Amino acid sequence: MNKKPFVTKDQLVEIIKEFPTPFHIYDEKGIRENARKLKEAFSWNKGFKEYFAVKATPNPHLLKILQEEGCGMDCSSLTELMMSEKCGFLGDDIMFSSNNTPAEEFQYARKLNATINLDDITHIDFLREVADIPKIISCRYNPGGKFALGTTIMDDPGDAKYGLTREQMTEAFLRLKELGAEEFGMHSFLASNTVTNEYYPELAKILFKVAVELKEETGVHIGFINLSGGVGIPYTPDKEPNDIIAIGEGVRKAYEEILVPAGMGDVAIYTELGRFMLGPYGHLVTTAVHEKHIYKEYIGVDACAVNLMRPAMYGAYHHITVMGKENEPCDYVYDVVGSLCENNDKFAVDRKLPKIDKGDILVIHDTGAHGFAMGYNYNGKLKSAEILLKEDGSTKLIRRAETPEDYFATLDF
């Protein structure tokens, strides 16, 4: 698969005249089309709803686009709840999935009447003490051990800090029922950024079987099962993207095999996708400002790990397009680096690229989720602007770049 930017060099040259690099740019058309395809994939399920993971890209302009496409919000903190409220999300349009949760966050979630997803059995009494037990409640399940697809280990739930054990799920549902809860949900997340159509159907089978057991053991009504996130995107150009229609069909088969015969054909399916919803529809745009020739060849750009932390944090691959040189041979080998006083501040290591000259515009792909959001202010670096490329080709500034005044605003001296 050839990774092609959703914006042209000519468009970027014009945008940069008004908004200097670095900046993140998002593709409204791509976002809307993708949200519609997800909805189509699960249209067989009457109660289906996507709760976008706000942590992936917390920008109200993008949340409003997803709201227009019928999505709810998955929040995990006080400020994410506040942002969702400002955008007009209330009640069952918000799932609150948090862990190690402070009292004020539970209280705010209850104020909004959000659907609370409890991460631990001790949180039942904690929630009762600081707020109250709502009529609708969800619990997060962690099956422990290792999660494998075929012979490949995808992830290690047993090492994850999230969720309740199988025994605790039964205990939690009985306790919550005793405290007045009437409608129950289940939630689980077993692997991150999977690029396989098998993940959701396999997760669904695990959750559906447990749901049937829980209904029999506790007599509660399970109204929804939340498959959470984990459906990923292909960061490298050699991978094919997930086929969301095939994924939806796989979940449907599991639903009809396991839930329908158990008299649970009314269960709504929820998803909490972040990366899948926005990842490919964001680029980090940066300019080459220096070159360095020592033991290796370096290209210095005006972005750094503050703008995109994933390569520094995980060694993650992000594809790079040198704008205007798409058809030139990739016969140079570079480390593409930022300016932080950290040697891991590299967008690419030993990457084959066309010859890069100072002033070239580079597009770093797949930054629409967990890109800007993971930014920080190390070295006194300032966060960039965010720009929306609208469906009609015009652009809109949806977050201005930080200034030194912003950086110093919390100091009193």
Per-residue pLDDT tens over the stretch 190-230: 888 898 999 999 999 999 999 999 999 999 999 999 999 99
Boundary of a domain, candidates 250, 273, 296: 273
Rounded to 5 degrees, φ, ψ at 250 are: -65, -40
> Same domain, yes or no, for 266 and 287?
no
Summarize the confidence of residues 64-88 as an average pLDDT: 98
The reply to whether 33 falls in a domain is: no
Residue at token pair 């201005």: 400
Angle at 204 between CA 200 and CA 210, to 5 degrees: 155
Boundary of a domain, candidates 240, 273, 306: 273
> Same domain, yes or no, for 310 and 250?
no
> Same domain, yes or no, for 301 and 153?
no
| Nearest-10 crossing angle of helices 123-130, 166-178 | 30
> Same domain, yes or no, for 193 and 291?
no
- Residue 151: its pLDDT value, please? 64
The CATH code of the domain that includes 298 is 2.40.37.10
- Residue 146: its pLDDT value, please? 86
Quote the number of domains for the chain: 2
The reply to whether 300 falls in a domain is: yes
Q: Which pLDDT tens digit goes with each residue over 237-253?
A: 999 999 999 999 999 99
Mean per-residue pLDDT over the chain, rounded: 96
Summarize the confidence of residues 78-101 as an average pLDDT: 97
pLDDT interval class at 87 (50, 70, 90): very high
> Between residues 160 and 362, which one has the greater pLDDT?
362
Assess whether pLDDT exceeds 80 at residue 154.
no
321 beta partners: 363
User: In 3-state terms, what secondary structure has residue 354?
Assistant: coil
Q: How far apart are CA 143 and CA 398, in angstroms?
A: 40
> Same domain, yes or no, for 20 and 63?
no
- Residue 135: its pLDDT value, please? 98
> Same domain, yes or no, for 182 and 255?
yes
Boundary of a domain, candidates 223, 250, 273: 273
The reply to whether 4 falls in a domain is: no
CB atoms near residue 341 (< 10 Å): 7
The reply to whether 366 falls in a domain is: yes
> Same domain, yes or no, for 153 and 286?
no
> Same domain, yes or no, for 243 and 304?
no
pLDDT interval class at 413 (50, 70, 90): confident
Q: How far apart are CA 31 and CA 4, in angstroms?
A: 16
- Give per-residue burial for 135-163: e unless 16+ CB within 10 Å, then b: ebbbbbbbbeeebebeeeebbebeeeebb
Task: Please say if 87 is a catalytic residue.
Answer: no
> Same domain, yes or no, for 265 and 134?
yes
What percentage of the chain exceeds 90 in pLDDT? Answer: 93
Which strand (E) or helix (H) includes residue 51?
strand 49-53
115 beta partners: 95
Q: Are residues 345 and 313 in contact, defined by beta-carbon separation less than 8 angstroms? A: no
The reply to whether 207 falls in a domain is: yes
Q: How far apart are CA 183 and CA 202, in angstroms?
A: 25
> Same domain, yes or no, for 346 and 245?
no
Residues spanned by the domain of 269: 42-273
Annotated catalytic residue, options 71, 75, 87, 341: 341
Q: How far apart are CA 112 and CA 126, in angstroms?
A: 18
Classify residue 61 as exposed, middle or buried by CB count within 10 Å of its CB (0-12, 13-18, 19+).
Answer: middle
Summarize the confidence of residues 256-283 as an average pLDDT: 97
The reply to whether 211 falls in a domain is: yes
Which strand (E) or helix (H) includes residue 118?
strand 115-118
- Residue 245: its pLDDT value, please? 97
The reply to whether 2 falls in a domain is: no
Assess whether pLDDT exceeds 90 at residue 406.
yes
- Residue 98: its pLDDT value, please? 93
Q: Are residues 270 and 227 in contact, defined by beta-carbon separation less than 8 angstroms? A: yes
The CATH code of the domain that includes 213 is 3.20.20.10
Assess whether pLDDT exceeds 70 at residue 51.
yes
> Same domain, yes or no, for 315 and 383?
yes
> Same domain, yes or no, for 269 and 288?
no
- Residue 1: its pLDDT value, please? 59
pTM (predicted TM-score): 0.96
Q: Are residues 337 and 300 in contact, defined by beta-carbon separation less than 8 angstroms? A: yes
The reply to whether 119 falls in a domain is: yes
Rounded to 5 degrees, φ, ψ at 310 are: -55, -45
Summarize the confidence of residues 328-337 as an average pLDDT: 97
